Amino acid sequence: MASRTTPFSRFEFVIAWRYLRSRRAEGGVSVMTWISLVGIALGVMALVATMAVRAGFRAEFVDTILGANPHVSISRATYLDENGVATRAIPDAAQIAERLRGIAGVTRATPVVKGQAMVSANDRSNVAEVFGLSLSDLKAIPRVADAPQALGDIEQFEQGIAIGAGIARDLGVTVGDRVKLLQPNGARTAFGTSPRVNAYKVVYVFSVGRWDIDRTRIYMPYEEAASFFNREAGADEVEVYVQDPETVEALYPALAQAAGAGALLWSWRDAWGSFLGALKIEDDVMFVILALIVLIATLNITSGLVMLVKNKGRDIGILRTMGLTEGSILRVFFLCGAFVGVIGTVAGVILGCLIAWNIDAIMSAVNWLTGGGAWDPSIRGIYRLPAELRAWDLGRAVALSLALAFAVTWFPARRAARMNPVEALRYE
């Protein structure tokens, strides 16, 4: 009776490796196996690179949202003031902001005046969303105050306005130039309401990294904005920033209580939740599609191993007569397929990481080849395509590839182990 050997002994690795290295004329690995190795490498590369780009896109997209917008906006439902006029003004905005700052997890709360106006200069015009706030609050907005491509001095904010780079480009203005803002519901006179037109000096030009914000946003000192939009009765909103924006919903009860009756809460998740949910679904679908590509590549291992088992029938018979058990033969051919899966997976991970690390250069080359149409910020929202390698994504890609490779290797290896040595040597 054949003696049992220790599973995955050194000699099993040696035999398997020799079979992989042997030439086709010697009954070695078929071309199909090498094709499967390349296929696995390319499939894993695509999986790693795609997940890195998707993760980077989401991270950049969310960062531009949180870096330039409040985490929660608190407004008032429409009510009648003491003169019987319908309004949504928040007259006690300063007191509400003070109460909100006292909530654990809230880092900042500030009253804001908001309105829309037409901005014009150099015979060009655009529609802008104007935010009125203090200098300290403007400096606390990360993507505005710390914008790497900002122009001007933010400390001069009280002497003018800050505008987005997109507006500055459309109007052809820069720091030191003056722009006109027109607000239809302006000054109230005995003959009705006439449009208000004021000229302001541009003291700061910022870029938050989002096309829609840079092209529409203007910041103005709070008192000037209140006068320009007739908001003397109170602020339009109280903007709230929290420590952990991902779990902002947990603070809703405390925020609502501090804001008082009639308060309306609108978080960044309410505004962008649908889009981020669609991104999550697309990520899952993309993973499944690329997993199928890896599966097709690993199935080629089966074809290669079947040919290898057929070519090595005489060797199997000899090894069995020398005392190798079915388990040893199974492990030898299992290792042949496993080597292909492991080598292909490692190569794919390396190639995928290289693509992720050089995605900027790759996108620049693609943009050059396509004349700059490969990445349109007006459609994508952000100006560049980043990539973020995450351990979880790498682990999923590696686990998927190895699991599929090991699974498809088992069946031809089992067939080799069950081969009758007498039948294998009958015609030798």
183-220 pLDDT tens trace? 887 666 655 667 888 999 999 999 888 888 888 999 99
Lowest mean pLDDT among 63-67, 175-179, 182-186, 390-394: 182-186
Residue type, 188: R
**125, 113, 124, 129: which is closest to 218 by C-alpha?**
129
Distances from the Cα of 74 to the Cαs of 43, 77, 98, 260, in angstroms? Answer: 48, 10, 13, 10
Task: Please state, in angstroms and rounded to a whole number, the distance separating the CA atoms of residues 156 and 203.
Answer: 6
Contact 173, 121 (CB under 8 A): yes
- Weakest-pLDDT range from 59-63, 84-88, 225-229, 403-407: 84-88
Between CA 213 and CA 377 the distance in angstroms is 11
Identify which of 208, 142, 206 has the alpha carbon closest to the alpha carbon of residue 174.
206
Q: Across 253-342, where does the E strand assignment appear?
A: 263-267
In 3D space, the residue among 166, 158, 186, 171 whose CA is nearest the CA of residue 119 turns out to be: 171
- CA–CA gap between residue 147 and residue 284 (Å, rounded): 33
> Cα–Cα distance between 404 and 291 in angstroms, integer?
9
Is the pLDDT higher at 251 or at 314?
A: 251
This prediction's pTM: 0.76
Tell me which residue of 407, 410, 404 sits closest to 39, measured CA to CA: 404
Give per-residue pLDDT as tens, 78-97.
887 777 777 888 888 889 99
Residue 422's pLDDT is: 54
pLDDT of 184 reads 81
Separation CA 220–CA 226 (nearest Å): 10
Helix, strand, or coil here: 174? coil
Among the ranges given (100-114, 125-139, 168-182, 332-346), the one the predictor scored with the smallest mean pLDDT: 332-346
At residue 190, the 3 state secondary structure works out as coil
* Interval 270-313: pLDDT, tens: 888 888 888 888 888 888 998 898 888 888 887 777 777 676 66
163 with 177: CB under 8 angstroms? no
